């Protein structure tokens, strides 16, 4: 590991100033960052540790807008009975994301900004990786193994998938993040936070140098109560998603009034399946409608040979999540 400077500012103003310097990275829980430092994927000149900024801790789910400080722990939020009751999908996405040890160390802010698990990105023996080394090529697209890669949102430069779980819930339920940077504070729609890879896959978000995510907010809506997060993976105990779906439903009598569908494990960024949502609105939530929504969610997929299996798997996960919610609601 390369030597780096380390600082632990006590407030946001000092942290944004320190984090604005070239070659600087921000660290909080460190569950991803330390790995990437040790294997030489990231080699910063300096680390700014924001874990001591107490203003970023704490959360509130009691009003008409949920608010989570960026340093709220995954375990604390995921285990909270009020969160479980108000928004099962959010709790389940945190539970299914990582082991208890990791959930006890990882923060919500760090979780949404985690790096891809593309094996070529994480193995510096492969020189070709446009995300790690811009302009070097893509080992996955140049004859590599692609079973773990995206089938939605990829480009000719990079087909890495976004690896998280929590983010699928946030994108489906219109979350926003608040930030503070050298230019002041701003609010960003969660759906706009992550950038599609295009020809610059090394630029993963719209955050500016020194800009720190301070909180995540969600409007409380009825579909949160009837929600779930379904995750298909190679093994049940803490693997990354092959395909996942965050789903929430609000019924109006026998028909769907509102439905939210976020896709994970299949796309370059947290992905909202709006066409699939639209296919369900105003109709009964039957098994046939759920399976059709799953099909529509992947109608624009562009798989590679190794990732083609995700079209059927993803469609089945979407339908399964919708039917799981229907069962929980006790709907006919």
Residues lying near ligand SF4 in the complex (CB under 6 A) are found at: 116, 118, 120-121, 129-131, 138-141, 158-160, 201
Smallest distance from ligand SF4 to CB 150, Å: 8
Query: By the 8 A CB rule, do 151 and 266 touch?
Result: yes
Tell me how crowded residue 95 is: count the other CB atoms within 10 A of its CB.
18
Tell me how crowded residue 63 is: count the other CB atoms within 10 A of its CB.
8
Q: Which is nearer to ligand SF4, 198 or 209 (CB)?
A: 198
Smallest distance from ligand SF4 to CB 121, Å: 4
Tell me how crowded residue 299 is: count the other CB atoms within 10 A of its CB.
11
> Which residues in 163-202 are b (16+ Cβ under 10 Å) and which e?
bbbbbbbbbbbebbbbbbbeeeeeebebbebbebbeeebe
Q: Which is nearer to ligand SF4, 138 or 311 (CB)?
A: 138
Smallest distance from ligand SF4 to CB 144, Å: 7
Smallest distance from ligand SF4 to CB 139, Å: 5
**From CA 190, how far away is CA 217, in angstroms rounded?**
9
Q: Which is nearer to ligand SF4, 71 or 159 (CB)?
A: 159
Q: Which is nearer to ligand SF4, 16 or 155 (CB)?
A: 155
Which segments of the chain are extended strands (E)?
A: 5-7, 24-27, 46-49, 59-60, 65-69, 176-181, 184-189, 212-219, 227-232, 243-252, 255-264, 271-272
**Element spanning 135, H or E:** none
**From CA 323, how far away is CA 332, in angstroms rounded?**
11
Sign of CA dihedral 295, 299, 305, 307: negative
Question: What is the number of helices (H) and of strands (E) in the chain?
Answer: 12, 12
Smallest distance from ligand SF4 to CB 36, Å: 13
Encoded tokens for 94: 């945190």
Q: Which is nearer to ligand SF4, 118 or 177 (CB)?
A: 118
Q: Which is nearer to ligand SF4, 165 or 204 (CB)?
A: 204
Q: Which is nearer to ligand SF4, 104 or 124 (CB)?
A: 124
Smallest distance from ligand SF4 to CB 129, Å: 3
Backbone phi, then psi, for 307, in 5-degree steps?
Answer: -105, 5
Smallest distance from ligand SF4 to CB 235, Å: 22
**From CA 228, how far away is CA 321, in angstroms rounded?**
7
Smallest distance from ligand SF4 to CB 302, Å: 14
């Amino acid at each position: 590991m390369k030597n780096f400077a380390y600082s632990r500012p006590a407030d946001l103003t000092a942290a944004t100033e320190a984090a604005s310097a070239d070659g600087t990275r921000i660290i909080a829980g460190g569950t991803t960052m330390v790995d990437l430092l040790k294997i030489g994927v990231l080699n910063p000149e300096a680390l700014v540790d924001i874990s001591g900024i107490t203003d970023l801790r704490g959360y509130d789910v009691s009003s008409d807008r949920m608010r989570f400080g960026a340093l709220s722990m995954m375990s604390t939020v995921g285990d909270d009975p009020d969160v479980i009751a108000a928004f099962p999908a959010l709790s389940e996405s945190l539970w299914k994301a990582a082991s208890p040890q990791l959930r006890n160390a990882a923060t919500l802010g760090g979780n949404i900004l985690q790096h891809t698990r593309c094996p070529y990105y994480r193995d510096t023996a492969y020189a070709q990786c446009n995300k790690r080394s811009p302009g070097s090529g893509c080992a996955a697209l140049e004859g590599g193994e692609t079973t773990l890669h995206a089938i939605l949102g990829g480009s000719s430069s990079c087909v890495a998938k976004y690896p998280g779980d929590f983010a699928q819930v946030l994108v489906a339920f219109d979350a926003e993040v608040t930030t503070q940077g050298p230019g002041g504070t701003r609010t960003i729609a969660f759906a706009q936070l992550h950038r599609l890879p295009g020809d610059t896959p090394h630029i993963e978000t719209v955050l500016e140098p020194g800009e720190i995510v301070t909180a995540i907010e969600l409007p409380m809506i009825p579909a949160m109560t009837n929600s779930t997060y379904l995750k298909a993976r190679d093994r049940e105990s803490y693997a990354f998603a092959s395909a996942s779906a965050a789903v929430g439903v609000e019924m109006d009598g026998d028909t769907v009034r509102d439905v939210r569908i976020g896709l994970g494990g299949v796309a370059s960024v947290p992905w909202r399946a709006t066409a699939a949502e639209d296919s369900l609105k105003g109709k009964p939530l039957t098994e046939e409608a759920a399976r059709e929504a799953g099909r529509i969610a992947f109608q624009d997929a562009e798989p590679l040979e190794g990732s083609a299996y995700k079209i059927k798997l993803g469609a089945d996960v979407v339908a399964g999540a919708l039917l799981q919610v229907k069962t929980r609601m006790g709907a006919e």
